[in-house]
Amino acid sequence: MMVVRDGISRKIFNVFNILVLVCITLLCILPFIHLFALSLSGSAAASAGKVGLWPVDFTLKSYEFLLEKSDFIVSLGVTLKRVFLGTIINMTLVVLTAYPLSKSSSQLKYRTALAWFFVFTNFFSGGTIPNFILIRNLQLFDSIWALVLPGAVAVGNVVLLLNFFRSIPKSLEEAAMIDGASQFTILFKVFLPVSKPALATILLFTIVGHWNAWFDGILYMNSPANYPLQSYLSTLNVNINTSLMTSEELAIMKNVSDETLKSAQIFLGTLPIMLVYPFLQKYFVKGIVLGSVKE
């Protein structure tokens, strides 16, 4: 009788969990579906608030307006270049920093002091003005390096990865050392192959961070032609100067409203990350849990 009650309670619990998760999923998905429908709707229907989860007066004019602008294509290229260079630099420096810090104090002298040095920089920084002065003095304005180098070592990712490294059985490293492996060999042939969950998690954080960054582009780029995509879209949201538009762009703008244009911008700015996430999702939770802060 007790087994039957436990079975019924378990089923009720599972059904309740499924319903809660479905509701949470819908809360996340429905706004994005509405945004997509809004971007495909006519300006009159969007301005009147008639658009729900399905486009009204279907049109691609908002996307035509964005994709036909050379500024959009250029800024997209800047962002892709930033993501590519930034991800390579970030991942390399995070791995090379986390590996020695994951060792014990007997293996790395002053290891604790070095770890706290990095943690300190995660909580305290010089601020926007000192960073601006530093980039100016290094003559990095209007270059891709002004977007990539300031955040080259993400301390949060370092902490995540070093704790993951510390969870790897010591016997693996000792066996490699007995075979005569160097520290670089141990890192690249022992630690990294078994650290895919943590690496995938950090990779996702890095890509999303570079893709979504917009303020540093406005701060360090004197010319709008060097803006990354998010910086360009933020300025486009603020001001659309019709006096500089061509006749073709003005014709398109007749069928485009502020709501549909902003929706198209947000959708295009979010879509690449949504396409990347499913490939890394299976590692994400495991990487966060195993790489969490330990004593």
The DSSP result for 34-66, as a single string, is HHHHHHTS-HHHHHTT--SSS-SS---HHHHHH
Residue for token pair 């579906």: 33
In which element (H, E) is residue 221 found? none
Q: How many Cα atoms within 13 Å fall on the side-chain side of residue 217?
A: 23
Helix (H, G, I), strand (E, B) or coil at 207: helix
In Å, what is the CA distance from 225 to each residue of 71, 75, 113, 217, 242?
7, 7, 43, 11, 18
Model pTM score: 0.76
pLDDT by residue for the chain (295 residues), tens only, comes to 444 556 788 888 888 999 998 999 888 888 888 888 888 888 878 877 788 888 888 888 888 877 777 788 888 889 999 999 999 999 999 999 999 998 888 888 888 888 888 888 878 877 888 889 989 999 999 999 999 998 899 888 998 888 888 888 888 888 888 888 888 899 998 899 888 888 888 988 899 899 988 888 999 998 888 899 888 877 765 455 555 556 665 556 666 777 788 788 888 878 887 777 777 666 666 555 554 444 4
- Say what the alpha-carbon torsion angle 198, 201, 207, 209 is, to the nearest 10 degrees: -110
